[in-house]
Amino acid sequence: MKARALSLISILCCIGFSTVALSACVNLGKPKMQTPQERATMQVLELHLKLEGNTYGSDDERRSYKAVEEALDRALRDAGAGEFGRHEFGGGYCRIFLYGPSVDKMSNIVEPILRQQTLRPKCYMIKRYSQGFGPDAKIVRIELTK
């Protein structure tokens, strides 16, 4: 009986840990700012980094851009300016989405780091001054390479 009780406790602990781990995985890639006021005022910096070909790029390219996104996230967090949100690979681009209260502050931190990288032609970033995509949404495109 004691062995069964311990076994049940072990199973419940594993389920509990699995739930916590699953919850952590689900929340990965989402901005950490939680209050409604912060979410409403959050701005987005989209990086569009050209990949080899018109598909998903090479394994080396994806690893390289993963290192870049980690450096950008670290720089933004250290400055208290924002954080990495998510990335997408496809259509010949790596798209990195960064979130924070000031897209101008984020771009001032991110742009010098990106300009130190060896980027392919046709790389750019988009500053979105709101999360909306409507006709009134202010958007600025900055070319990183020609």
- Spell out the domain ranges in the chain: 1-30, 34-143
Dihedral angle sign, alpha carbons of residues 72, 57, 97, 34? negative
pTM for the predicted model, two decimal places? 0.72
- Residue closest to 144 by CA, chosen among 127, 123, 128, 126: 123
Q: Using DSSP bridges, classify how beta strands 43-50 and 83-90 pair: parallel, antiparallel or unpaired.
A: unpaired
Residues 80-95: tens digit of each pLDDT? 999 999 999 999 999 9
Confidence tier at 46 by pLDDT (50, 70, 90): very high
- The architecture CATH gives domain 34-143: 2-Layer Sandwich (3.30)
- Residue closest to 89 by CA, chosen among 56, 43, 54: 56
- More confident position, 136 or 66: 66
Report CA 123 to chain centroid distance, whole Å. Answer: 17
Is pLDDT at 124 greater than 50 in this prediction?
yes
